[in-house]
Structure 1
């Protein structure tokens, strides 16, 4: 038997992780080579400081557990490997997004000077050149202890250009071609590394511009994505600077080190480890997952059913049954999980992690959010209707009862007004509005997360949105996905083609279809609701006009003299009934904002349609043209569409807090 209270087991606090990335000069850089010992000492001290601050700040919000600290490194020979050496004694895991397949990456970073040595390294052997052999041995040793994510989708082309470059050392064009493709691959891997990091340490002389994908370019890319950069000056290793904006790269030369470096670093670490505002543990946050909707909260969806789907179907049962978190992997999530498991060369453990760490919390957040949406929106719509019925009921004694019987109608009005107050106070105290926003954000982030996880892509720390009351949903999902991290796999063109198909079939097409249907339904609701309000207003005008005509007719002798007196109470009642109902529907129309919601869904469907077209173009291309950059770019595009949609619909309802309809 499945439990209803699954909140504590499904949306428990995630494992908090501080992710540090490293970029810096290669071993051959003159400034780095000159100050290598001092740089190593300063880097070790910086790592010690970050570790200490992370432990001290981990008690934020009373949670108290120690965070995990990881290093992300591309294992280039120089600063990258120096950082790995600095953290190995601390037991920090090393995550290595490589710009090439692991074997080719070794053959390039060992820096052989002859084709024969390159081939020997590609074949798993030893280079004859002593220095190349030593570098290869060091890289092999470190790689064996790291979690490797290999971007091997262009390895054949890289190997061809590399071989030509080594064989034709005097061929300037061959050298430029090889450097260009290596720079491009390094930039892609650096982006992956930065996306998974909270802080980037840059060991740089502050002068060398380098190539695309080099140290300065990686630092600038991190700053553009909102990642804090600790610049360790390779020319003066004792100087640390915290950079937060690309504009700070201007005029770095001669800038003195900040006197409060530890203070600003501490603020960055705390920002990464601790949510802003209320956490999911707050007493107001509903952690109880319910298996079905509450009929008392169906008013909003009943309005959609009546005015959006006219006919007998509008009166059907609207009770919804939410998929249990423990059942989603074998239910609605099963086709997607099967597609993930069938990906060629994928991480075999990833499908299981997606099922347990993504789909289960998604099902929880989706069910709780839907229940809260019904409570908030249904409660407000019910209040509009109850308010109208209270007025109508209070005056209903005029045509149907005597003044002595008015107390019954007054009691009816009082009960309805009391119900409105109860709805208002309950919704306010239990924060239906805020909690709906928060849990819906959690659900939508988890819904499309598998697309990013399959590609080792992520939304950068600095690019997550933030709600008006804090960022716990973003903080929670970011750390939950970070815990899954980069898959242990080699990305190939064949794998990317399969991911494209999965992306199209299990997200883009279903979501586009959903939004098109939603937009059409909401537009019908808006049109019919507006038309009904107009007809009620017109009926009010006609009822008043009819009474005036009766009065005129009585004065002129066309109708009995007592007729106006006999029908006055009924027409007074009708004069209140029609505009009151019309006003209630107009209030629901304003509150629901169906037209704007329809426009948001139409725009989202259009954007997803554009993505579907781009996916079709890539699938029609040869494997050599299906690159990681293109496919991950589409995944990031979908991610941006999701976030834009969340921000748009929350801007509609953001100011519409639950209140009494006055």
Structure 2
């Protein structure tokens, strides 16, 4: 068994997390705990058989009763055990008598990771709040919740019934073992429905048995696969960089930014300094497991975006060029016209080749998928420090699979949430906000300049065309008034003007097509709105006193803003796939 989830080799699936909740010893009453342990063992055997070849970790709080029974059984079966404590361990052990405290110490000693939350008994409702907080961290870690529950409604804050309700509300499947009933364990899982029916509760969620576990784990283990590579044919790689140059050249021509050396090669992740974090810490896991994937996804998204943008810029430019070459046939000698025909054919063939290549290579979809994955990993790098792995409710199936694959390898932080831990996490959070706001500001300014200059250039081209038309009308009028003097000019000028007056609108139409395809104005608007919302979150973070719950709330809000912005951007981008300009 690996010492921690981060020790799992990249080609081996990470442990599936089974969270636990259940009644305490006094609630179990006269139930024979050895019999209950045998029932739990039977359930774990059913889980192992349903997910053949997988390994598991049990996540719970080691509360006296159901939690410790399940932990002992899981350890006996070779499972990894991770523990979420509602308080610092020396405070938590006050809930136990001497014998049970010794058992707690033993289980903590064999737990792979122990996350000690900042519960405070001296506050009003502090104990209930602490147990509720611990239960929610268990849910945030879990692929499946195993509950020892008698079916009775909620009796107190943070109790078993509440945690089960919250699990179902967040689409976490729950396997319920009723210690007072002879009926087999029940699987409460919305995935048993034939159709998506919206939010569920304990009363409405579909019910199954352990016979449905193979179906459940086939769904859970599907998310272990990384997102597919949309570059399906190696020969497509060769032309990518040439097409990708069109977009940075457009930025340079518009005076938005100068060409960079990076524009001429495939992006590579920047070197990161060697980590000095403790090898078992969550920081080391993030540095070792998450950041390489984030860098790869971010570079892949940047490269695919440049390819896609370069492709549509090339297409519209080549379409305008084909029109211009055709018009030049009116001016040049006949023996040179085959060269123009060849050039026009080459332009049209290039458009067809670019469109076909981009579609086969999936540049557009690759860009969207990798950008979504990168943003989810950006949020995960912070939320994982607070025990939230983003296993549930992540939009985008391909990106979700990549996020879950990495999240399972991060597992539970092995740390005590004290003042220093909170301060360090707050500092990382502020850095994330500042970094994102700075990026959004730069990108909005760049896209605003590009949109404004392209719009102005297009307007100038059409204005020049209108002036040329007026000039032709004046010349024709003078030709009618002064036929002897103006005959030669009236004969030569209109043909050249005809070519120019047709070429300029073709270029203007190409510029308009680039603006609409790139949606530069929309990018500016979305970036400015998101930057302002992140600034509001930052002001709240600065004004509020540092607390674990407050930080979790702010991180969740930031993740919601970033992923919602990506989802909105994806919807806008998917409405503009690469197509033949026509």
- Considering the TM-score relative to the shorter chain, is it more than 0.5? yes
Match in the other structure for 1:172: none
Change beyond 3 A, Cα 1:105–1:320: farther
Q: Which whole-Å CA distance do the structure 2 matches of 1:71 and 1:210 have between them?
A: 25
* Structure 2 contact 426–551 (Cα < 8 Å) conserved: yes
> 1:149 and 2:114 equivalent?
yes
Mapped partners of 2:79, 2:235: distance in 1 = 33
Distance 2:237 2:171 in 1: 35
- Asked whether 1:649 is paired with 2:573, we answer no
Shift of 1:520: 1.7
Q: Distance in 2 between matches of 1:289 and 1:18?
A: 36
Distance 1:323 1:429 in 2: 21
Alpha carbons of 1:54 and 1:233: their partners in 2 closer, same or farther (altered >3 Å)? same
Residue 199 of structure 1 and its aligned partner are, at CA, apart by 0.8
Cα distance, 1:279 vs. partner? Answer: 4.4
Change in Cα spacing, 1:54 to 1:287, as seen in structure 2 (3 Å) is: farther
Question: Are 1:631 and 2:579 matched, yes or no?
Answer: no
8 Å CA contact retained: 1:512, 1:608: yes
Query: Counterparts in 2 of 1:16-27, with a 5 A limit?
Result: 16-27=14-25
The reply to whether residue 103 of structure 1 matches residue 90 of structure 2 is yes
For residues 396 and 82 of structure 1, the distance between their equivalents in structure 2, rounded to whole angstroms, comes to 86
What is the deviation of 1:367?
2.0
1:190-209 correspondence to structure 2 within 5 Å: 190-209=135-154
The structural deviation recorded for 1:19 is 1.0
Residue 263 of structure 2 corresponds to which residue in structure 1? 319
Matched, 1:424 2:355: yes
Aligned to 2:580: 660
Mapping of residues 67-86 of structure 1, within 5 Å:
67-86=54-73
Q: Is the 8 A contact 1:533 1:582 kept in 2?
A: yes
Q: CA RMSD in A?
A: 2.9
Query: 1:398 aligns to what?
Result: 330
Unaligned 5+ segments in structure 2 are 1-8, 191-198
- Residue 283 to residue 583, structure 1, CA distance change in 2 (3 Å): closer
Distance change >3 Å, CA 556–CA 318, structure 1 → 2: farther
1:48-59 correspondence runs (5 A): 48-55=45-52
SS at match of 1:442: helix
Q: What stretches of structure 1 of length at least 5 have no aligned partner?
A: 1-10, 56-65, 111-131, 162-176
Partner of 1:452: 383
Task: For residues 46-95 of structure 1, give each alpha carbon's deviation from its aligned partner in whole angstroms, at most 9, with x where no partner exists.
Answer: 2111111111xxxxxxxxxx322111111111111121122222101011
Classify the secondary structure of the residue corresponding to 2:115: strand
1:584 aligns with 2:516: no
When residues 443 and 268 of structure 1 are mapped into structure 2, their CA distance, relative to the original with a 3 A threshold, is same
SS in 1 for 2:254: helix
SS of the aligned residue for 2:434 comes to helix
Specify whether residues 478 and 218 from structure 1 end up closer, same or farther in structure 2 by C-alpha distance, changes over 3 A only: same
CA displacement, residues 406-451 of structure 1 (integer Å, 9 cap, x when unaligned) = 1111111111111111111211221111222222223223334321
Q: Residue 137 of structure 1 aligns with which residue?
A: 102
Matched, 1:268 2:216: yes
Tell me which residue corresponds to 1:236. Answer: 181
CA distance in 1 between counterparts of 2:533 and 2:389 reads 20
**Does the 8 Å CA contact 1:393/1:409 hold for their aligned counterparts?**
yes
| Greater alpha carbon shift after TM alignment, 138-147 vs 269-278 | 269-278
2:462 equivalent to 1:518: no
Match of residue 250, structure 1, among 182, 203, 207: 203
Q: What is aligned with 1:294?
A: 241
TM-score, normalised by the number of residues in structure 2: 0.89
1:601 to 527, 541, 547: 527
Match in the other structure for 2:467: 542
Q: 2:453 aligns with which of 524, 528, 532?
A: 528
Measured against aligned partners, the alpha-carbon deviations of 1:129-161 in whole angstroms (never above 9, x if no partner) come to xxx22222222222221134333434xx42x47
Partner secondary structure for residue 312 of structure 2: helix
The secondary structure found in structure 2 opposite 1:52 is helix
User: What's the CA shift for 1:552?
Assistant: 2.7
Structure 2 CA distance for partners of 1:587 and 1:34, relative to 1, 3 Å: same
1:345-369: CA deviation from partner (whole Å, max 9, x where unpaired): x876433332221222222222222
Counterpart for residue 498 of structure 1 = 424
